[in-house]
Structure formats: C-alpha cells, structure tokens
Amino acid sequence: MKILVVILLTALSFSFSKEVGFTQEDRERLIRLETTLKVFMEQTNKRFEKLRQDMNARFELIDKRFEQIDKRFEQIDKRFEQVNNRFNDMFNFLWILTGIFTTLTASVIAFAWWDRKTINETYVN
C-alpha cells in the first residue's frame, strides 16, 4: 500500500509540474529593466557629479575664508609685536628716568654731606 501511495504521488507531481521556459515576455521585461537601470545610473551619476562640484565649490569658499582668517591673525600678530615694542620702549624710558633720579638724589646727598663737612670745619676750628 505504501508503495502504491508513493508511486501515485510521484506520478501526480510529474503531471502537475510543467517546465516553464524563459519566454519572450521575460526577455523583453529584462531588457526594459536593464534600460531603466541604465537611465537610473546615468541620472544618479549626474546628480553625484553635480553634488561633487557643489561640494568642491563650497570647500573652495571655505579655503578662501580660512585664508582671510589667517591674514587677520597675521595682522593681529603684527599689532601684538607693535604693542610689545611699545612696552619695551616705555620700560627703557622708565629705566632712564630711574637713573636720572638716582643720580640727582646721590648728587644732592653728596652736596649736603660736603656742605655740612665744610661748615663744621670752618666753625669748629
């Protein structure tokens, strides 16, 4: 009985299974799909190329902006150098004033000491 059922099932499966071949309609569908895919790829490539050009233009603008910022930093550096030179000049001037004041003070003290010494020598002797 089992053998009969197996033979019957295999016979039925062979009778229902038709071999479906690759039809002309399938070929035409593949050709349309390939054409559509080509058009899509061309459009995508154009979009990416346009996007790439746009990005390159933006990067060039950013590079120019960075160059302008670099120039400003150079100007600021020059300004700091000028301020630094100005401070050095002021310190040098203060050292000169300090030297003059010290010399005058020492001269006045030396004169006062000489004057006291001279007065003491004249009146004491």
pLDDT of residue 15: 54
What is the distance between the alpha carbons of residues 62 and 69, in angstroms, rounded to a whole number? 10
pTM above 0.75, yes or no: no
Digit-by-digit pLDDT tens for the chain (125 residues) are 667 666 766 766 655 555 556 788 888 999 999 999 999 999 999 999 999 999 999 999 999 999 999 999 999 999 999 999 999 999 999 999 999 999 999 999 999 999 998 988 888 76
What is the distance between the alpha carbons of residues 104 and 84, in angstroms, rounded to a whole number? 30
Residue 108 lies in a domain: no
pLDDT of residue 26: 86
**Containing structural domain, residue 54:** 25-93
Domain tally, the chain: 1
pLDDT of residue 24: 85
pLDDT of residue 122: 84
Residue 107 lies in a domain: no
Residue 39 lies in a domain: yes
Residue 64 lies in a domain: yes
pLDDT of residue 5: 67
pLDDT of residue 16: 53
What's the half-sphere exposure (Cβ side, CA atoms, 13 Å) at 84? Answer: 6
Residue 111 lies in a domain: no
Residue 74 lies in a domain: yes
Q: Tokens at residue 111, please?
A: 């004169």
Residue 114 lies in a domain: no
Residue 2 lies in a domain: no
